[in-house]
Amino acid sequence: MFAILAFVNLCVPFTYEDRFFGKKLIKNIRSRTESYIERPTSTTCQLVAVIPEDRWTKPRNRLSDDIAIMWTDPYSSQIFLEGDRLRYHIPIGSLLELKCDHFRKHLTQVWYVHLTFRTADGPHELFLRPGENGIFLTVFNRSRQASAEQLFHRIELVIAEAKHRQQTKAD
């Protein structure tokens, strides 16, 4: 019995928390009178956990500062994050840095996408861990890595689309 609990705790670190809180967040977003995201269950949306760098040493259940639905809109060249507490509207032109990286929590690699963008108060950083929606979809570190890289590439595509539009307007 102990071996099964240890396996679930080490290898399936976020699946059940994400499923529960993700469904709750979607319900909350739908009930809001004003929201950045009209259809939080759309295929263009992604559940993410905001994991500030100062929490990386905390226990797993205190790692996330907030959970959010992220929508990358290639038509308006913007990223929208609608969280339980936090809300962000990030124009692609304000992005200063985008990278995919990880840190370790015991045997588990926690993969994230690091966004740095300009705000009126100066540069701001977000570390976004892709949400885990399926049962045992991200059991292994390489699966968590692939999930973060997919989120990273989704943002890269919006950046490329924005650059293409600027170039087309200039021509």
* Predicted pLDDT of residue 16: 42
Element (H, E) at 48: strand 45-50
Between residues 68 and 25, which one has the greater pLDDT? 68
The C-alpha atoms of residue 116 and residue 86 are separated, in whole angstroms, by 16
* Predicted pLDDT of residue 85: 82
The C-alpha atoms of residue 41 and residue 38 are separated, in whole angstroms, by 9
pLDDT in tens, 29-60: 666 677 666 666 667 778 888 999 998 888 87
Among the ranges given (50-54, 129-133, 159-163), the one the predictor scored with the smallest mean pLDDT: 129-133
Task: Give percent above pLDDT 90 in the chain.
Answer: 29
Spell out the residues 6+ positions from residue 6 whose beta carbon is closer than 8 angstroms to its own.
none
Q: Domains plus CATH for the chain?
A: 2-170 (2.30.29.30)
Between residues 41 and 87, which one has the greater pLDDT? 87
For residue 14, is pLDDT > 80? no
